[in-house]
Structure 1
């Protein structure tokens, strides 16, 4: 049964009709202009009046749609922009067509407005519409004016381009100003955080990213700011001061900087000033409150910026930690000769203690948070090491975790091994920003008296103390120098009674390694050694499960799995692949005559030759006994035969030295190709085995393809028939 077509609902039809009004009005106006309409006031009639009315309705509809979409948060699309812009341009050109060319600047202004406030795609499209309209009005009139059209076109492009560039420049300037203001506030927060000792004075990290740590720091600074402001308000009210200000020592303890104040003067010192001068300097040196008054004005008042008011009474108390360390000073003054009392001094000292307590609380919270974050990173590092499945994954995990934990500039992992009876060290992975370190990865060096070799030799972290002449230290060997480090620590990778290698950690900062951090890195090194050992044992077990113990080639089980993979890929991508099955000729005689050790020597030599002659993409395996198999992806019978002959010739040319004298051998090889010879794996293996048997039955020491084998059978049948 055929269903009837579904028609839109009346409501949808009405919405489509309303939305089409701006475009329809613009198109009708365009057609009327093209036919010579709107050529002066004396040509206006009911048609022109109707078109103008439609244009006004279209402009209203387009503007209303944009406003409604903006009110509900919907995106204003290109069609909405073109509907409004096209209707406005149509109206502008109607005015120009009626009033004459003197009114054309209206179009310039409108075009500049549209380009400035609409997206680029809409602006460029409307510029093209304006040029077409101009052609109709200027070139389609009674007297075509090509020069006028070119002038209009040039000015339209110029106005549009200039307004676009000017607006873009204004927007860019506004964004830069906003960014500068944000960065300025961030720098202020950083400076105040250092003043409060919430972060170290050497911290150079930017806060622009506003991570969780940075948001916490901003919140801490605001908390202290609020406490100081509240304290100053209490002091101002309780002491009836003209100025009450808090000055804190900078990170170098040599200068004072205004933190906050309550004052009737604009001359309070807002720049840094010497902490050792004037009355305030005496307070800091004595670590005790000072009260002074003079009807003629006090001397040595340094907390005003030159030409300040005549202070007649002053009270200053130090902001002291429990250990006696001075953090700053609270200053209160009066312009009248009203000396501060003992009660006033006690009140201001109490307020100074509250200010210090606020700072100390945030410092303790900062330390707790820092310690917690370090522990979190430490535990994550241990988890990453436990998850690592291969040695390379272990190396990546230990380097990344160590660098993040200690903020290192250089980090490396070395492994030690015995090669021909000599101890060799190899840099298996490194990371860092030092120029010399980039070339280290993969390098090997012999045992020496360098720090890495000594750490392996003695099994203890080195150096045991800070080294002054770090650049002259031998870390790896004499030829490898790592310069620019201020601190260095090398940890052994110990697993049981074995030392697998070392973890090298370096920083440009001299005081980079705190005891807690050193202990955590040492634990990471121990865990890394265990992880490396596990990964190495896993790889060894995997290698034993997949390779032949005598030849080092893939074993029979792995060959079967690899053959399935290559067959599946060849079927999927419709590619050929070949399989070569080989056998050492008269190998039983070799074992019987020369002994099984010589037979093993021959098999190892043949495996080495096949592996060398095969391509990187080929898969070589020991099929069983003296038989070997080669899988050759994307190789037809001709290509496989060529490589098979190379292998056969190389084996034939090889001479094996035995106790009974030189020994030479030959090989027979059978070749089958997918899909030419067979479509299934076992069929390919059987055909290759038949080709191998054909080679042995017909003289050995030859390569036989399926075509050669079948051709030989045909010749034999023909001979028997004759």
Structure 2
């Protein structure tokens, strides 16, 4: 009725006001699902978000039976209703008989059991000309109608605007945390990320590895070929490091020709494998600068929390000792803090 519709849009106004005050993307997604649950009878719901490259989507927030798929990634080209909505970017899609539709597809992920939902309402999250994601609502036959589609479409637009604003602010903040030459995180961002990583692993009783990397004979290279060549070597090394990171790993320019890599949930074996892969890749990579072939190698030191250091400062010291040992042993190699003798009081600094 007109009265019910008015009440629904009044509720949307309240939610829109709340959305405008949020500063985190996960807060927006949670409020979106909570509001949808209050507006329509749901059995399950999910917010899927498209990545920046527009090649995949992630089930970021879910309710009901969809919770088992939180965190799952799906290629945007796959045959799912979520992928279809993201590709089409059209108005809300309402299906009151999912199983009977001529295009029989799973809703969220490929290995989703069939007939999980009778009715589907999929609402794109559109900001300007780009589809950021979609709100996927699942229920029994007749759970959704055209009025619900209109109201949730308005709500989704408000959520998309809030997400777009937060993304823009996050990009600006991210730029301030980046090293201008290499694009890696700067020292300040590294310190913040290491502190957060310590907190996460401590809560989960996990492990954490830290790898320090130093470009061998960098001063000599600068003196021989000039600072522009040195800059090229720094950018080249940063790219090689990035190519070997796993999801969740973080690399930073630690200072000068030194880099740092944070490896959450990683023990000694994982740290050694990554250090060796990076070392070999840098050595084998061909870097030509203004017609000159530059030979670049790196030395690396790895330490693991909590075995090699109980806090940030102790872990950094342990990794730095391992790096110094690698350089003293001839450079172009990796060393583990656990393989070193106990620290002497007059420990020499990294050179």
Where in structure 2 are the equivalents of 1:654-693 lying within 5 Å?
654=281, 655-658=283-286, 663=295, 665-667=297-299
Query: Quick check: 1:388 aligned with 2:19?
Result: no
Deviation, structure 1 residue 659: 5.5
Where in structure 2 are the equivalents of 1:488-503 lying within 5 Å?
488-503=120-135
Q: 1:619 to 1:395 in 2, by over 3 A?
A: closer
Do the aligned residues in 2 keep the contact of 1:456 with 1:502 (CA within 8 Å)?
yes
Aligned counterparts of 1:645 and 1:416: Cα–Cα separation in 2:
34
Q: 1:526 to 1:586 in 2, by over 3 A?
A: same
> Residue 504 of structure 1 corresponds to which residue in structure 2?
136
Query: Quick check: 1:622 aligned with 2:250?
Result: no
> Residue 76 of structure 2 corresponds to which residue in structure 1?
446
> Residue 605 of structure 1 corresponds to which residue in structure 2?
240
Unaligned runs of 5+ in 1: 1-363, 568-576, 634-638, 672-676, 713-722
Q: 1:394 to 1:650 in 2, by over 3 A?
A: same
Aligned counterparts of 1:582 and 1:668: Cα–Cα separation in 2:
4
> Residue 203 of structure 2 corresponds to which residue in structure 1?
none
Deviation, structure 1 residue 526: 0.3
Deviation, structure 1 residue 396: 1.4
SS in 2 for 1:388: coil
SS in 2 for 1:506: strand
Query: Quick check: 1:520 aligned with 2:151?
Result: yes
Deviation, structure 1 residue 445: 3.5
Among 60, 63, 81, the residue aligned to 1:428: 60
* Matched pairs, number: 316
Unaligned runs of 5+ in 2: 199-207, 304-308
> Residue 160 of structure 2 corresponds to which residue in structure 1?
529
Query: Quick check: 1:544 aligned with 2:175?
Result: yes
Deviation, structure 1 residue 520: 1.4
Aligned counterparts of 1:602 and 1:543: Cα–Cα separation in 2:
21
Deviation, structure 1 residue 582: 4.7
User: Larger C-alpha radius of gyration, 1 or 2?
Assistant: 1
Aligned counterparts of 1:383 and 1:533: Cα–Cα separation in 2:
16
Q: 1:602 to 1:486 in 2, by over 3 A?
A: closer
1:213-266 deviation per Cα after TM superposition (whole angstroms, max 9, x unaligned): xxxxxxxxxxxxxxxxxxxxxxxxxxxxxxxxxxxxxxxxxxxxxxxxxxxxxx
Do the aligned residues in 2 keep the contact of 1:691 with 1:706 (CA within 8 Å)?
no
Q: Which has the higher contact order (CA 8 A, sep 6+)?
A: 2
Q: 1:710 to 1:668 in 2, by over 3 A?
A: farther
SS in 2 for 1:460: coil
Deviation, structure 1 residue 631: 8.3
Normalization by structure 2: what TM-score? 0.64
Aligned counterparts of 1:483 and 1:668: Cα–Cα separation in 2:
53
1:318-343 deviation per Cα after TM superposition (whole angstroms, max 9, x unaligned): xxxxxxxxxxxxxxxxxxxxxxxxxx
Aligned counterparts of 1:588 and 1:651: Cα–Cα separation in 2:
21
> Residue 49 of structure 2 corresponds to which residue in structure 1?
415
- Structure with a larger share of its residues in helix: 1
Do the aligned residues in 2 keep the contact of 1:416 with 1:425 (CA within 8 Å)?
yes
Among 110, 115, 118, the residue aligned to 1:483: 115
1:116-173 deviation per Cα after TM superposition (whole angstroms, max 9, x unaligned): xxxxxxxxxxxxxxxxxxxxxxxxxxxxxxxxxxxxxxxxxxxxxxxxxxxxxxxxxx
> Residue 374 of structure 1 corresponds to which residue in structure 2?
8
Aligned counterparts of 2:316 and 2:73: Cα–Cα separation in 1:
44
Q: 1:541 to 1:706 in 2, by over 3 A?
A: farther
Do the aligned residues in 2 keep the contact of 1:644 with 1:669 (CA within 8 Å)?
no
Deviation, structure 1 residue 402: 0.8
1:412-460 deviation per Cα after TM superposition (whole angstroms, max 9, x unaligned): 22223465xx743443333235xxx454432414326765444434432
> Residue 399 of structure 1 corresponds to which residue in structure 2?
33
> Residue 460 of structure 1 corresponds to which residue in structure 2?
90
Normalization by structure 1: what TM-score? 0.35
Deviation, structure 1 residue 527: 0.9
Aligned counterparts of 1:534 and 1:545: Cα–Cα separation in 2:
17
Do the aligned residues in 1 keep the contact of 2:209 with 2:302 (CA within 8 Å)?
no
Aligned counterparts of 1:509 and 1:371: Cα–Cα separation in 2:
21
Aligned counterparts of 1:500 and 1:552: Cα–Cα separation in 2:
25
Do the aligned residues in 2 keep the contact of 1:474 with 1:481 (CA within 8 Å)?
no
> Residue 205 of structure 2 corresponds to which residue in structure 1?
none
